[in-house]
Structure 1
Amino acid sequence: MSHWAISIVLTVSLLLAAAPASAQTSGSHPPANAAGILNALPPDLYMKLERLAQLLDQNIKAGKLTDAQLQQELMSGRLEQTIRGLGSEANQLLEEIQSDMQNGKGPGESALMPLLGGLGGK
């Protein structure tokens, strides 16, 4: 399981949730890099993101998706639809992740740019 897969799922969740800054769990700034952001997540949210990333990895290994397709879907704004198309478990996880993010359990929108920077394989 790579941090890249979790980063892409978290990035999508942040884009979809549009959590207000005031809903963050703490008044401090989120970590400035993708690994720091992932390590700062509540354990239950991290587990959901990890499971969703595992589903993405399984579909890549099965030849149903490629890393390039995922990046293209992210850039085109269609990644949510692609993730939801992976099945009911992926759809449910995405719903729960979005709900958690909207309820202030995630790092907030300010964490988006460090995560996007990690998606280019950097």
Structure 2
Amino acid sequence: MQNQNTNAIFAIAVIMTAFTAVLQFGSANLAFSQEVPLLPINTGNETLDISLPVFYECIEEAVDASENAPQQDSYFEDEPTKNEVRACYQAVFIDNPVEEENNNDEDEEDDE
């Protein structure tokens, strides 16, 4: 009797494991993302509105540049690393703020 119970429990465990494996492997990559048009950025902050597209372009270029980098996880072939995001943030918002560029352009126009 105990042998039958053990066999039944083992059979149920095998069936449940097989069912779980089928669900895991069968449902992988069923969702496909689709490109959608971007909305224009209008935050009310002119500096931010101008800098965000530059920031995202910087990230895109950094990801493209590091696509075949050695010792890099395959996830980062399409996604930025933390260091890439930090470097782009530094370059766009800290080192080269748009406000300074706008002020310089206005100063040059005033000089003419």
TM-score normalised to structure 2 length: 0.30
**Structure possessing the higher radius of gyration over alpha carbons:** 2
TM-score normalised to structure 1 length: 0.28
Q: Which has the higher contact order (CA 8 A, sep 6+)?
A: 1
